[in-house]
Copies of this chain bind each other. A is one copy, B any other.
Amino acid sequence: MSESKKFILQERDIPTAWYNIIPSMPVKPEPMLHPGTMKPLQPEDLYPIFAEELSRQELNVTDSWIEIPEEVRDMYKIWRPTPLVRARGLEKALDTPARIYFKNESVSPVGSHKLNSAIPQAYFCKKQGITNITTETGAGQWGAAMSLAARHFGLELAVYMVKVSYNQKPYRRSIMQTYGAEVIASPSMSTRAGRKIITDHPNYQGSLGTAISEAVELATSTPNCRYVLGSVLNHVALHQTVIGLEAEKQMAMAGDYPDIVIGCFGGGSNFSGISFPFLRHNFSGERHTRFIAAEPESCPKLTRGKFHYDFGDEAGYTPLIPMLTLGHNFSPANIHAGGLRYHGAGAVVSQLKKDGLIDAVDIPQLETFSAATLFARSEGIIPAPESSHAIAAAIREALRAKEEGTSKVILFNLSGHGLIDMTAYDSYIAGDLTNHTITQEEIDRNTADLPGK
């Protein structure tokens, strides 16, 4: 163990290849299905939606390492490598024998890890000659990242932002506009999917599932336009592995190796990013690290969802994905961790969970804000409400280590800062926040009628 607080890499240490976990998985995920033919998806089936290179990455089950283009690494240099931090302040506040580390992805110019995938997605679109792209965003972290990446590569971007966040988080909307993107509150009148849901439910405040439907519809009906997505999919998790690959080098600098790795969980992008590079050493038998995905109590697909084929969006425009799901029509409570309000987990994470290779916990909203406030006061950084789920899970483990008198090494991903989520902290300080559980009956009802086999 070193006495340093931060473990700092140089630009030359930015990974040169992304890690694709699929070839090494003991049991590979079931294939995604074409919803029309119900046959396993081929890359060509995805070309109308995604850039071709991204479609190939999505279905690549053979190459463990995929080279990062120089143009992408150059742009990573704006803020990468990110620091690994020993959370000595938090350890002291908890009086725990555990050694807690966090990977600080909040230092990106948009304040989250989302830029790791936004950049290659914009790059591969541009390389193919695509001029316009669409996407969705919940709390706005992904939309802000995509806006910056699109501007850098000279692409026009339209972002469908979940209506509740559009109204609650105007700063994130302004950030996207400052970078030059168009931002539309979803559901909107600009798409068939949006019009239908507005007509059926006039006061509907939107969901990620609906915003995805709108963005996919606009992309597939606009010339030379494609859609980009910030989570759930394999190629997004792939790009995010730069987090774990850097962390691996930094843990070695610290002279430690994690017993437990934790990430918050919405669709899987940051959890996969920090976990997969470490998980490969479990697969090889070298290590026995425990992996914990921390999801909101109000949206517990990993702990309480059904393993089944389901759509990635509300209207059913996407391929069928084998996932742990609460049903694509599930409408999560309006918790402040908007980025975790998604009904399903990606295919790889779902399979890993099914096979007992990763764990999951679901955490009540008040516990996450209590953890966030302790973290802010002991480590100085105000965390995003999403990331606070990882902090809460890390605190649970650190307290367990204290109880058991064992000196565990805990690593979690601080996926973003919360400086643009201060209304959420205001509500917490004012005592206005509540927890949101869902009943088994609600889960059963939403998953009773899932598509496919």
Chain A residues proximal to chain B, CB less than 8 Å? 4-6, 8-11, 74, 77-79, 85, 89, 107, 109-111, 148, 151-152, 170-171, 174-175, 177-180, 373, 376-377, 379-382, 417, 419-420, 422-423, 425-426, 429
Known contacts A171-B171, A425-B174; A10/B11 CB under 8 A: no
Inter-chain contact A382/B175, CB cutoff 8 Å: yes
CA distance A420 to B170 in the complex (A): 11
Inter-chain contact A5/B178, CB cutoff 8 Å: no
Inter-chain contact A376/B422, CB cutoff 8 Å: no
Q: Looking across the interface, which residue of chain B has its beta carbon closest to that of A373?
A: B178
Inter-chain contact B419/A111, CB cutoff 8 Å: yes
Inter-chain contact B78/A379, CB cutoff 8 Å: yes
Shortest beta-carbon distance from A415 to chain B in Å: 15
Inter-chain contact B180/A377, CB cutoff 8 Å: yes
Inter-chain contact A425/B178, CB cutoff 8 Å: yes
Looking at A148, A174, A180, A381, the one whose CB has the most chain B CB atoms below 10 A away is A174
Looking at A107, A179, A422, the one whose CB has the most chain B CB atoms below 10 A away is A422
Query: Chain B residues with Cβ under 8 A from A429's Cβ?
Result: 174, 177-178
Query: Chain B residues with Cβ under 8 A from A107's Cβ?
Result: 107
- In order of increasing CB-CB distance, the 7 nearest A-B pairs are A174-B422, A171-B422, A5-B77, A109-B380, A109-B381, A78-B380, A178-B425
Known contacts A8-B8, A10-B8; A423/B78 CB under 8 A: no
Q: Looking across the interface, which residue of chain B has its beta carbon closest to that of A81?
A: B8
- Pick from B78, B171, B180, B379: contact of A420, CB below 8 A: B171
Known contacts A111-B419, A171-B171, A377-B151; A178/B382 CB under 8 A: yes
Offer 14 A-B interface pairs, CB within 8 angstroms, sorted by A. A5-B78, A6-B77, A89-B152, A109-B379, A109-B380, A110-B380, A151-B377, A171-B171, A171-B420, A171-B422, A171-B423, A174-B426, A175-B419, A420-B422
Inter-chain contact B11/A8, CB cutoff 8 Å: yes
Shortest beta-carbon distance from A353 to chain B in Å: 33
Inter-chain contact A380/B152, CB cutoff 8 Å: yes
Q: Looking across the interface, which residue of chain B has its beta carbon closest to that of A180?
A: B377
- Pick from B4, B79, B151, B381: contact of A11, CB below 8 A: B4
Query: Chain B residues with Cβ under 8 A from A152's Cβ?
Result: 89, 380
Known contacts A77-B5, A379-B78, A429-B174; A420/B420 CB under 8 A: yes
Shortest beta-carbon distance from A175 to chain B in Å: 6
Inter-chain contact B5/A380, CB cutoff 8 Å: no
Inter-chain contact A422/B178, CB cutoff 8 Å: yes
Query: Chain B residues with Cβ under 8 A from A379's Cβ?
Result: 78, 109
Q: Looking across the interface, which residue of chain B has its beta carbon closest to that of A11?
A: B4
Shortest beta-carbon distance from A403 to chain B in Å: 27
Other A-B pairs, 6, CB within 8 Å; known A4-B77, A5-B77, A8-B9 = A148-B380, A151-B377, A170-B426, A171-B420, A178-B373, A178-B429
